[in-house]
Amino acid sequence: STSRHVWYYEGRNGWWMYDQRTNDEIDQSFRRGDRRVEILIVGHLYIVDFENMNQYRLNDTQRRRRIKYDLISAPKKGVAGLKLD
Ligand code: V3L
């Protein structure tokens, strides 16, 4: 994708970028106008909900993380759990 914006999910004290494959899936779904999309993250199905702008594990809806669509240059912790620096 040549977009300058990417998708992020919430961490404890900052934002994580999604890995590129997942970002592309989310992007395509959002552009289609879907309300939500199912994504596979390290063996677990998650829902990315565009109406509530959050994500949560399908079989364990306790933890809901906010998501955002922001500039690729926005402050971040890293990518999909891999820390920057
Ligand atoms: N991509 C990758 N891993 C994820 C994602 C995702 N979209 N969603 C959840 N996990 P839960 P700090 C996160 C991981 O929501 O220090 C970060 O990537 C999630 O990883 O209860 O709090 C870091 O690796 C967590 O390990 O389903 O900012 C880690 O948290 C696990 O799935 C710590 O980040 C359960 O998340």
52-59 contacts at long range (C-beta below 8 A, 24 or more positions apart): 55/9
Q: How far is CA 26 from CA 13, 21, 60, 61, in A?
A: 23, 9, 20, 19
Measured in Å, residue 32 CA sits from the centre of ligand 1 at 26
Q: In this structure, which residue's CA is closest to atom 29 in ligand 1?
A: 81
Longest dimension (CA), the chain: 36
Res 16: pLDDT:
98
pLDDT digits (tens, 9 = 90+) for 2-56: 679 999 999 999 999 999 999 999 999 999 999 999 999 999 999 999 999 999 9
Is 0.80 topped by the overall pTM? yes
Res 2: pLDDT:
63
On whether the CB atoms of residues 8 and 70 are closer than 8 A, the answer is: yes
Question: For residue 14, what are its two tokens?
Answer: 């900052």
**ipTM for this model:** 0.98
For ligand 1, say whether the CB of 63 is within 6 Å of any of its atoms: yes
Question: For residue 36, what are its two tokens?
Answer: 């939500």
